[in-house]
Structure 1
Amino acid sequence: MPTRKPSDLIVVGAGVVGAACAHYAALAGLTVTVVDRGSVSGGTTGAGEGNLLVSDKEPGPELELALLSTSLWRELAEELQERVEYEAKGGLVVAADEAGMGALREFAARQEKAGVTAQEVPGDRLHDLEPHLAHGLAGGYRYPQDAQVMPAHAAAHLLRTGGDRVRPRLGEEVVGLLTGASGEIRGVRTTAGELHAPYVVNAAGTWGGALAGLAGVHLPVLPRRGFVLVTEPLPRVVRHKVYAADYVADVASGSAALQTSAVVEGTPAGPVLIGASRERVGFDRSLSTEVLRRLAAGATALFPALAAVRAMRTYLGFRPYLPDHLPAIGPDPRVPGLLHACGHEGAGIGLAPATGRIIAACLTGDRPPLDIDPFRPDRFAAPESPTAPGSPAASER
């Protein structure tokens, strides 16, 4: 095998977060090797709906990250044009009764102080936005900053924009990290050999904790399973991303039990995507008819016309969950040369550009675009007998 020229950094994980890290590092003039045991978007990214949301986030560090990413996605959409299928369709959060509407009103008021645009919609005007929505809802809020991309296309094109500076190495599993005499990063060991670089970025998604374990550090990333129902192609029955108010509480919950809330959105290609479910069951990929029943019931309660529509398929994915619902982004002070960009749970696609910008800034010595202290990778106390969560594989799949 010919000798591989060293890169400035190695990104482990070819999902959208890893692709964004490679994209912004390449823009900064660095050469990047992207390693994944599978394909581009072969894991969490490929199982995502492509949501770019601010509507579901409480004021705080994650919302700041989302607002920055929202502007960066708009820039990327202009650069990549229709190739990422960017759609600025907006979100619509609806409440069934006045109590729910009051909670939405308070939530939106807090968000608006943080820079989010939220527009109250009375119940009798909801059908102006969504003609097929159920009758009798108390009202809702429209979020024009919410958007959507096709996640697999987005990851692929973010990698391609780096040109010769980005070198994908797919089908290679990372099985170890190379370190120097003082414990500093020197590269990675894969099933195909060694790759050398002074920096390694952990963008391994749900397996981010396992990769951290290879470096001897604790990062408690756990899988949080979710299913999506996909209908037959339809005329544009659903114009926005529409979800019930309890979705926000489910996103913020740390419960391991099954939670479902109605989330419905159309796509440019025609099928309607129906979610959302959350449960921590490890990496169990078995089909759950109970989850699918709940998803269908929630969707038809919001859009009764969907009761007569065929569901063509379903798929599942694993969100990379961290206990405080914030990703780990930035240098790991415990291992010189190791950086993390994982643990975004269900928001990785939306938060990818800001994450990539932060990683690039840390690598080049520039000031990050926002305060990254809340995302410190070493903020979690190590267990008494540390074990790396997940399998020893290192890839976002």
Structure 2
Amino acid sequence: MLTRKTSDLIVVGAGVVGAACAYYAARAGLDVTVIDRGPVAGGTTGAGEGNLLVSDKEPGPELDLAFLSLKLWGELGDLLPHDMEYENKGGLVVASSPEGLRALGGFAAKQREAGVEAKEVPADRLHDLEPHLAPGLAGGYHYPQDSQVQPAVAAARLLRAADVRGRVHLRLGEEVTAVLTDADGGVRGVRTPTGEVHAPHVVNAAGTWGGDLARLAGADLPVLPRRGFVLVTEPLPRVVRHKVYAADYVADVASDSAALQTSGVVECTPAGPVLIGASRERVGYDRTLSVEVLSRLAAQAVQLFPVLSGVRAMRSYTGFRPYLPDHLPAIGPDPRVPGLLHACGHEGAGIGLAPGTGLLIASMVAGHELPVDASPFRPDRFPAAVHAAPGEEPPHGA
């Protein structure tokens, strides 16, 4: 028998962005239903490294949202359990050549004007920050504001904290098969295999599958998957103190290329394993293990930290970053479908930007003042003609 239930807000997606939307909406006094076809953090969040970065962001709306989110992550780090592994450890970007260092310097100068702390580190002082770094690097920049969390645990802790007053109803293992609208085209809820769930607002926090959910509602959002691999080593002593990455990582993040790109990114976790990335490529939803990519990541990690050459890689995992053509997320109401809001398309920055996104969505629904200008994130900013490339449509049932 079909069931019907009423909430103020339905959030589709139980990753860290959806969890943040639920958390701040519940704090604003709203009753929230969170629906996901899988478990908490079963998509992109569970395949993330947990980066909370300003070091890779140029001045503009994404950096503004990152500043807000860093502040909120700091508050959450004090509030939520320590197993979330919130750590303000800072980042270190290194250059292998004088030309690369000059490019980093120009980027850092623009960032400093926008409020980012970026401190030049000459070559002979790099080992003060990272004793195991390879010799011969030209220098780098230290970003003390960069932080990290354990993303899957963070999502779970946000959902649990949101439900303190019984305002959040979690429905896992239920795929949204339809977005329900009324005669005027406005949202009135969603349908799952167990029945209809009613609410005047639906938030699309479906991550890489956000375009699929938008289409169910009759809207167009050109979210595409950008695949990445992460290598995980055996537990080690703290051989890497910061998030350390090569200068070309910033260019890879901003690139529109569908081709394979890899750049060395190395960081320790409080639990001991070292995480090694980062790769980007647009290959649709292909999860096939790529030995080529993993070999590149391992080689680039050893170039940065030769001490890792004898360390065992215990496993790897694959995820899909939700890519939008202008590298900005879609956050806010969709004027084409009244009652539909989007909170997706963050690419590789979703974990870092989750709290700011959640607070924006909650403020919009509750009618509160917005903490930052949300106009650059308008979901209807893309031409309707933008479509997924062959093979990049979500697989059936996604």
Query: Structure 1 length normalisation: TM-score?
Result: 0.97
Q: Which residue does 1:216 correspond to in 2? A: 218
More divergent stretch after superposition (383-392 vs 151-160): 383-392
Structure 2 counterparts to residues 145-160 of structure 1, below 5 A: 145-160=145-160
Contact kept in structure 2, 1:207 and 1:393, CA below 8 Å: no
Which runs of 5 or more structure 2 residues have no equivalent in the other structure? none
**Identity over aligned residues, as a percent?**
74
1:313 is paired with a residue whose SS is strand
Q: Which residue, 179, 185, 188 being the options, matches 2:187?
A: 185
Contact kept in structure 2, 1:221 and 1:389, CA below 8 Å: no
Q: Which residue, 366, 369, 390 being the options, matches 2:394?
A: 390
* Change beyond 3 A, Cα 1:371–1:202: same
Letter in 1 for 2:124: D
Deviation at 1:2, TM superposition (A): 8.2
Q: Which residue, 286, 296, 299 being the options, matches 2:288?
A: 286
Tell me how far apart the structure 2 counterparts of residues 23 and 4 of structure 1 sit (CA, whole Å).
23
Q: Which residue does 1:92 correspond to in 2? A: 92
Structure 2 counterparts to residues 1-397 of structure 1, below 5 A: 3-163=3-163, 164-383=166-385, 389-391=393-395, 393=397
More divergent stretch after superposition (74-83 vs 270-279): 74-83
Contact kept in structure 2, 1:220 and 1:389, CA below 8 Å: no
Tell me how far apart the structure 2 counterparts of residues 70 and 392 of structure 1 sit (CA, whole Å).
36
Deviations 1:73-115 (A, max 9, x none): 0001011141311011100000111111111111001001111
Tell me how far apart the structure 1 counterparts of residues 144 and 55 of structure 2 sit (CA, whole Å).
9
Tell me how far apart the structure 1 counterparts of residues 118 and 387 of structure 2 sit (CA, whole Å).
46
Contact kept in structure 2, 1:234 and 1:271, CA below 8 Å: yes
Tell me how far apart the structure 2 counterparts of residues 295 and 111 of structure 1 sit (CA, whole Å).
28
Letter in 1 for 2:270: P
Deviation at 1:390, TM superposition (A): 2.0
1:156 is paired with a residue whose SS is helix
Contact kept in structure 2, 1:210 and 1:391, CA below 8 Å: no
Deviation at 1:391, TM superposition (A): 3.8
More divergent stretch after superposition (365-374 vs 314-323): 365-374
Contact kept in structure 1, 2:211 and 2:222, CA below 8 Å: yes
Letter in 2 for 1:56: D
1:316 is paired with a residue whose SS is strand
Letter in 2 for 1:302: L
Tell me how far apart the structure 2 counterparts of residues 170 and 118 of structure 1 sit (CA, whole Å).
42
1:273 is paired with a residue whose SS is strand
Contact kept in structure 2, 1:176 and 1:214, CA below 8 Å: yes
Which runs of 5 or more structure 1 residues have no equivalent in the other structure? none
Deviation at 1:368, TM superposition (A): 1.2
Deviation at 1:191, TM superposition (A): 1.6
Tell me how far apart the structure 2 counterparts of residues 13 and 101 of structure 1 sit (CA, whole Å).
40
2:177 is paired with a residue whose SS is strand
Tell me how far apart the structure 1 counterparts of residues 82 and 235 of structure 2 sit (CA, whole Å).
20
Tell me how far apart the structure 2 counterparts of residues 385 and 280 of structure 1 sit (CA, whole Å).
14
2:169 is paired with a residue whose SS is strand
Runs of 4+ residues deviating >3 angstroms: 1-5, 384-389, 391-394
Tell me how far apart the structure 2 counterparts of residues 13 and 375 of structure 1 sit (CA, whole Å).
19
Contact kept in structure 1, 2:222 and 2:386, CA below 8 Å: no
Tell me how far apart the structure 1 counterparts of residues 387 and 248 of structure 2 sit (CA, whole Å).
37
Contact kept in structure 2, 1:218 and 1:386, CA below 8 Å: no
Contact kept in structure 1, 2:94 and 2:141, CA below 8 Å: yes
Contact kept in structure 1, 2:2 and 2:196, CA below 8 Å: no
Contact kept in structure 2, 1:206 and 1:223, CA below 8 Å: yes
Tell me how far apart the structure 2 counterparts of residues 244 and 225 of structure 1 sit (CA, whole Å).
20
Tell me how far apart the structure 1 counterparts of residues 339 and 386 of structure 2 sit (CA, whole Å).
26
Deviation at 1:56, TM superposition (A): 0.4
Query: Structure 2 length normalisation: TM-score?
Result: 0.97
Deviations 1:213-234 (A, max 9, x none): 0011110000000000011111
Deviations 1:186-229 (A, max 9, x none): 00011211100000000000000000000111100000000000
Tell me how far apart the structure 2 counterparts of residues 294 and 274 of structure 1 sit (CA, whole Å).
10
* Change beyond 3 A, Cα 1:31–1:108: same
